[in-house]
Structure 1
Amino acid sequence: MVLKDKFNRLYRLHTNKFATILDRARCEGGNFHATWCWSRDISGRLVGDLTTLTNLLSSFVPCSSGKEEWSWSWSKDGSFSVHKLTDILVRSSPDIATVSIKSLRNKLVPLKVELFIWRTRHKRLPTRVELDKRGMDLGTVRCPVCDNGLESVEHSIILCTFAFDIWNRVYDWWKLGPFTNLGINESFLGNGYNFTSDLGKLLWQATEWVTGYMIWKSRNAFTFTKIKPTCAMVFKDIQLKCFEWFSNRIKGTNIEWDVWLANPRGYDSLALSSRRFGIG
């Protein structure tokens, strides 16, 4: 709470706009004392404002160190932590309550991809359905790519025929069989397959995330340029981005381009902990 905003009329009348609470008010022996410097007498509605301000400050206890500091009530020591905030948000969100915090992070991809995954799973992507919910009149909420359904988050990333074809290509590339119609949450967890190493699990989950990210990026390009990319083009971009990002982030081993294109799941056969590669 900022006092100058809550008591704006009084603030405008005070002659010292830079005075602190300790400059003007103190509590001694249970008695509250305040010294104000008004440009004119306080009257009318200002009397009520001053009474409210006085009652508010009468319980003010200055910091013993003489320096005012913020205190975060969610931690025992009052210090703020991004990790603690993430933990609270994840545990308080009904749709991801059963998902561990670790599963929402993957060090093989850039931060922008992680943010995209968070926005996708929380339906924060600006699809036509979501924009319509927020009162934006778009004329139509149908998918601009396939026109076979409403452009929801799930339709954009998975159900659209354009996206579905790309997912099938990625599954075939990883030799995982045909793509099944999974939901948003299930599609980005990297679970359900018999990987033998931590590295294999991380590689596959990261590939899923990059696939969703590239599908969304290509849809945006079509929306603004009206140039529709082919599924083959997007699939090639996925393979290239995965190779570029993963090879730059895995330490201690090399991902070879030809091997990556032919059989990325082959790296799972190494059966070594991801910590061995500096990403755990």
Structure 2
Amino acid sequence: MKAVQDHLPTLVGLARRNIVSESVECKLCGEGEETNDHLFSGCYIAMGILDFISHWCGIPNIYAFSGKDLIMAHTEAYMDNKKNKAVQAIIFTVVWCLWKSRNEAMFDNKDVNAAKIKQEIKALGYLWIKNRSCCKTITWIDWCNFTL
């Protein structure tokens, strides 16, 4: 995954490649340099979303110091295999939705809306789990209550 390998074109990464940018400030929070690690674990928007995910899934708080820590966070939750895979899929969805929101802020001048990102994670995660796993019978209500 490009987020773990530091291959995403973050503003700091682009500046490192001599691609000029007016600022390397995070497009989500505006409070730090936009690196992979900041975007997915240090940004206060990302931290709020990870807190939401922890509470929703009923797992210990996710403390990630890097993109790699975030991708591996599901292994620290000590759940059965089915829930573990669901949390892993949710974390992948978090990464996707944060990157998508960053791109919308950068290229479309859209405001960052944490509530919208959370809703998108739930909806997209549900569709991915329901259509790409053995949980084809899961209902939206079960998903929202995270009773797998």
**TM-score over 0.5 (shorter chain):** yes
Distance 1:144 1:187 in 2: 19
Unpaired runs of 5+ residues, structure 1, are 1-117, 268-280
Q: Which residue of 2 aligns with 1:250?
A: 133
Q: Which residue of 2 aligns with 1:17?
A: none
The answer as to 2:77 corresponding to 1:193 is yes
Q: Which amino acid aligns with 1:249?
A: R
Conserved? CA contact 2:26–2:33, under 8 Å: yes
- Which whole-Å deviations, capped at 9, do the CAs of 1:39-89 have from their partners, x for residues lacking one? xxxxxxxxxxxxxxxxxxxxxxxxxxxxxxxxxxxxxxxxxxxxxxxxxxx
- Which whole-Å deviations, capped at 9, do the CAs of 1:213-233 have from their partners, x for residues lacking one? 111101101111111131111
Q: Which amino acid aligns with 2:79?
A: F
Following superposition, the deviation at residue 193 of structure 1 comes to 1.3
Identity %: 22
Q: Which residue of 2 aligns with 1:122?
A: 5
Q: Which residue of 1 aligns with 2:25?
A: 142
Unpaired runs of 5+ residues, structure 2, are none
Q: Which residue of 1 aligns with 2:49?
A: 166
User: C-alpha root-mean-square deviation of aligned residues, in Å?
Assistant: 1.5
Q: Which residue of 1 aligns with 2:62?
A: 179
Q: Which has the larger radius of gyration?
A: 1
One of 199, 206, 213 as aligned partner of 2:96: 213
Q: Which amino acid aligns with 2:75?
A: N
Question: Could you state the TM-score of these two structures normalised by the residue count of structure 2?
Answer: 0.91
Distance 2:135 2:82 in 1: 12
Question: Could you state the TM-score of these two structures normalised by the residue count of structure 1?
Answer: 0.50
Distance 1:247 1:141 in 2: 38
Q: Which residue of 2 aligns with 1:26?
A: none
Following superposition, the deviation at residue 253 of structure 1 comes to 4.7
Instruction: Name the structure, 1 or 2, with higher relative contact order (CA <8 Å, separation 6+).
Output: 2
One of 86, 90, 115 as aligned partner of 1:232: 115
Write 1 or 2 for the structure with the bigger share of helix. Answer: 2
